[in-house]
Structure 1
Amino acid sequence: MTSRRIIPTEKNLLEKDDRNDTTPSALENSNITPAVPAAVIYKLLGFTVAMIAGPIGIYFLTVNTIFRGNSTWAGATAAIMANVVLIAYVIVAMKEDESDKLAAEEKARKGQ
């Protein structure tokens, strides 16, 4: 039966890291900005709340007032509301992507 001997002079995986980025100057130059802008996260959270509250609210609003207890029609209305929120999210995301492209093109034009 073979086994590997542990050699005290050999570095383990944690000690083999060749980077020496723990100096104060390296820590000051590090970029810790978030990968996703805050506005995008706020939009996502807003649409998440709308996706939860919208269909549920429409269901309970319409089940007894408009459809007089017919839960099938109220459920269908809630499903339509969920699709409306989803489509609105896709449209907002596409508009945001277009505005980012236009801003990049405008910046490239000014740089020339």
Structure 2
Amino acid sequence: MSTSEQAAIGKLNTNAASNGTLFKLVVFSLSLGIVPLTSYYGSLNYLWDGNSTFAAITAIVAANVVLIVYIILSILEDKQSPQTPSGILLESKKIQ
């Protein structure tokens, strides 16, 4: 395998990882806006019978749950990533 082929494979792996990370960021960003609002209005009307204080607490808890899940998944993803910097492939030199 030539150096250019290895570099191309490294770029593909980096792009795939970047796309997955970007997708995860978009999903959690949308979730951070949608989940607290739906939990507030849903709990206000159906769980707490119009008590806005308890509904606000429910929305705060929902937002914190989304943030905690994002942090945990980011830590797990970081542990699974290779120890070498992305895009750099190590190649042993041949002794002639």
Q: Same fold (TM over 0.5)?
A: yes
| Residue aligning to 1:100 | 81
Q: Matches of residues 1-112 of structure 1 in structure 2 within 5 Å?
A: 37-101=18-82
When you count helix as a share of all residues, which structure comes out higher?
Answer: 2
Shift of 1:73: 0.1
Determine the C-alpha separation between the residues in 1 that align with 2:71 and 2:46. 31
The percent of aligned pairs where both chains have the same amino acid is 33
- TM-score, normalised with respect to structure 1: 0.59
Unpaired runs of 5+ in structure 1?
1-30, 105-110
Determine the C-alpha separation between the residues in 1 that align with 2:35 and 2:46. 16
Number of residue pairs the alignment of both structures matches: 73
Asked which structure has the greater CA Rg, the reply is: 1
Amino acid at match of 1:57: T
- TM-score, normalised with respect to structure 2: 0.68
Determine the C-alpha separation between the residues in 2 that align with 1:65 and 1:84. 21
SS in 2 for 1:41: helix
| Higher relative contact order (Cα pairs below 8 Å, separated by 6+ residues) | 2
Unpaired runs of 5+ in structure 2?
1-10, 85-90
